[in-house]
Amino acid sequence: MWRCSILLPLLGALLASCSSPSPVDEVVASYLAARGGTERIQALTSIRETGTATASGGRIARVVREIKRPGLFRLEFSLQGTTSVFANDGSAGWQVAPLQGVFEPQAVPPEADAAGGVDQRDIEGPLVNWREKGHLVELVGREALPGGEAFKLKLTLKGGVIRYDYIDVVSHLLVRSDFTRIVRGHPVELQNTFSDFREVGGLVFPHHIETRAKERPEVIEVVIEKIELDPELDDALFRLPQ
Amino acid sequence: MKRAIVIIALVAAPVFADEVYLRGGGRFSGEIVEQTEDSVTVDIGGGYLTAPMSTVVRIEEGVSPLAEYRERAAGIPPGDAEAWRELARWATSKTLSSQSWEAYSQVVAILPDDDEANRALGRVLLNGKWVTEDESYRARGYIEFENQWMTPAERKAILAERQAQEQADRQANEAEIRAIQADIDAEQQREDEEFERQTSRFDRLQDYGEPVDWGWGGGPAYWPSPVVYTQPVELGAAPVGGR
């Protein structure tokens, strides 16, 4: 009996190691390969993206987003002659936003931090080594989107936040990502659609991003005009100025 | 002090066109309408910003895009739609939304059916007629609720959710009253404070503006909700809000 109790788990482990990858691992692997491969993604140390954001009412802004390992984030948002900075030094967020009356750099409470979520400052994205990062990824179906069919992945991020990523079955790229945010105490489902994929330095990036709340008419669009890989970024840029 | 600043703004031509640099990388440019030892007030073209001098790293003199816009706009002859169009495109490239809006409005005033200008103003072609964004939302069945456009069903759901929450809170409170009358006042106060804290937390999220997601790596930022003033105000005044 004791032999069985030892041998059975061993046999199970052996079978598991010999079996083919799970469907979710296959979808994630195909997605990472389509992006340029895990090795290339993990070699990325920093990134700077420059683009234009437009919103309803004729609003337009210049955006510069910088991310650096490990988890450093900085966004410059320029409109109407003003430039605001929203940043996170890897542990806490801060901002200086003249248009919002914030002239002195100040810490931002975690719940209001634009880049507070650990996945949101992850230069690789949460699907790279998701198990090691403590996320849970499940393949929950296949859906027809306007651009074609897509695998639907449910990501339960470390900390409990849930988002749904849609991986196109043909290109294997992330074409949509949905998550729910609490706005004025009410959950609002946000849909982000990615398109205009182009290769930059061996990695594939969406150059057109559209954000809308489900069943609401207003849309925010971001058009990426320039992507720089591994730019020199001083850590001080991400720290709250003292 | 406040009155003095307003008077300056109304009667005086812009004196400077400078860029004000703040610590941490923030900055703003426009036309300085007032500068004292304590503060600097700048007309940014969509309102006025007054920053304490203690937050200012430096001020660089130069011609701001806003000043250039105003100079070019002043030189456009009446009825010249193409000149306004060119200026509108230029203002857009400088992210001067207010000036872009103004210039495209001039184009529409001359050419009411101009496709580019109408679209830039957020107008929508509906049944062969250009209408405002809001009118198009209404025509598509959306309603405006607490400054957000949504379906009637969503508004109904929000209101029902709030009502249920209020009812649940009320029932909980009544149960507590019955169970431990002596502690009810203190307990109620604690719950109110917690509710207030939660509400203000969510309200603060809203204050940070509309969410923008990036898909790759780093995620959402927000479209900042501007808090600017339609006229110069003294430091410390309550913001008047804005979109």
Q: Does residue B190 lie in a domain region? A: no
CATH code, A98: 2.50.20.10
| pLDDT score at B240 | 36
Q: Which residues are within 8 A (CB) of A77 and not within 5 positions of it... i.e. 6 or more apart?
A: A53, A61, A62, A63, A83, A84, A85, A86, A97, B221, B223, B224
| Cβ distance of A205 and B216 shorter than 8 Å | yes
Residue B241 has pLDDT above 50, yes or no: no
* A4 belongs to a structural domain: no
**In this predicted structure, what is the pLDDT of residue B202?**
36
- Report how far residue A229's alpha carbon sits from residue A46's, in angstroms, rounded to the nearest whole number: 6
pLDDT of residue A16: 47
The verdict on a CB contact (< 8 Å) between B223 and A82 is no
Domain count, chain B: 2
- pLDDT tens for residues B185-204? 777 777 766 655 544 433 33
B53 plus B29 within the same structural domain: yes
Inside any domain, residue A192: yes
A220: chain B residues, CB-CB within 8 Å = 210-212, 223
| B171 part of a folded domain | no
- What ipTM does this complex have? 0.75
Read off the pLDDT of each residue in A24-50 and give the average, rounded to a whole number: 95
Evaluate if residue B205 carries a pLDDT over 50: no
Residue B175 resides in a domain: no
What is the pLDDT at residue A130? 92
Encode pLDDT of A178-213 as tens digits.
987 766 667 778 888 999 999 999 999 999 999 888
CA distance B34 to B232: 9
Domain range enclosing A109? 20-238
In a domain, B11, yes or no: yes
Can you give B41-55 as a three-state secondary structure string?
EEECCCCEEEEEHHH
Residue B220 has pLDDT above 50, yes or no: no
Please report residues of B whose CB lies closer than 8 A to that of A57: 122, 133, 243
**What is the model's pLDDT at position A111?**
64
Pairing of strands A93-97, B124-126: unpaired
CA distances from B104 to B22, B71, B101 (A): 32, 17, 5
Residue A94 within a domain: yes
Say if residues A89 and A240 touch (Cβ distance below 8 Å): yes
Cα distance from A30 to chain B (closest Cα, Å)? 16
Name the domain boundary from B40, B64, B88. B64
For the segment B133-158, what is each residue's pLDDT rounded down to a tens digit? 888 888 888 988 887 888 888 888 88
Chain B contact set for A182 (CB, 8 A): 202, 205
Q: Quick one: average pLDDT of A60-64?
A: 89
Q: Is A148 inside any structural domain?
A: yes
A216 chain-B contacts, CB cut-off 8 A: 142, 148-151, 154
Cα distances from B51 to residues A218, B8, B83, B224, B227, in angstroms, run 32, 17, 35, 18, 13
Instruction: Say how many domains are in chain A.
Output: 1
Taking residues A46-70, report their average pLDDT.
88
Nearest chain B residue to A185 by CA distance is: B202
Min CA distance, A9 vs chain B (Å)? Answer: 38
Q: Are B134 and B81 contained in the same domain?
A: yes
Residues B47 and B98 in one domain: no
Q: Is residue B92 part of a domain?
A: yes
- pLDDT for the residue A234: 95
Q: Decide: A154 and A162 in contact? Cβ < 8 Å.
A: yes
Test the A interface: residue of B95, B145, B240 with most A CBs within 10 Å:
B95
The mean pLDDT of A119-125, rounded to a whole number, is 78
Q: What is the CATH number of the domain that holds B48?
A: 2.30.30.100
Tell whether A211 is covered by a domain.
yes
The predicted model gives A9-23 an average pLDDT of 57
Last residue of a domain, which of B89, B113, B139?
A: B139
- Residue B215 is assigned to a structural domain of this protein: no
- Residue B129 clears pLDDT 50, i.e. is over it: yes
Could you tell me if B52 and B90 lie in one domain? Answer: no
Query: What span, in angstroms and rounded, lies between the C-alpha atoms of A113 and A75?
Result: 12
The band of A54, judged by pLDDT with boundaries at 50, 70 and 90, is confident
Contact flag B218-A84 (C-beta cutoff 8 Å): no
Task: Tell me what pLDDT residue A217 has.
Answer: 81
Contact flag A81-B45 (C-beta cutoff 8 Å): yes
Would you say residue A14 lies in a domain? no
Reported pTM: 0.73
- Tell which residue, A194, A217, A215, A183, has the closest CA to residue A57: A217
Does some domain include residue A178? yes
B34 pLDDT higher than 80: yes
Range of the domain at B22: 2-64
Q: Is the pLDDT of residue B80 over 90?
A: yes
The reported pLDDT for the residue numbered B237 is 43
Domain termination site, one of B104, B139, B174: B139
Q: Which of B66, B217, B243 sits opposite A57 (nearest CB)?
A: B243
Q: Give the residue from A122, A98, A93, A90 showing the smallest Cα distance to A108.
A: A93
For A207-231, the pLDDT digits (tens) are: 999 988 888 888 888 999 999 999 9
Q: Which of B24, B150, B226 sits opposite A96 (nearest CB)?
A: B24
Q: For A156-160, B19-23, B24-28, which range has the lowest pLDDT when averaged over its residues?
A: A156-160
> What is the spatial distance between Cα B81 and Cα B104, in angstroms, rounded to a whole number?
9
Q: Would you say residue B7 lies in a domain? A: yes
**Average pLDDT in the A165-185 region?**
87
In the structure, what pLDDT confidence band is assigned to residue A15 with cuts at 50, 70 and 90?
A: very low
Beta carbons of B101 and B121 less than 8 angstroms apart = yes
pLDDT score, position B83: 97
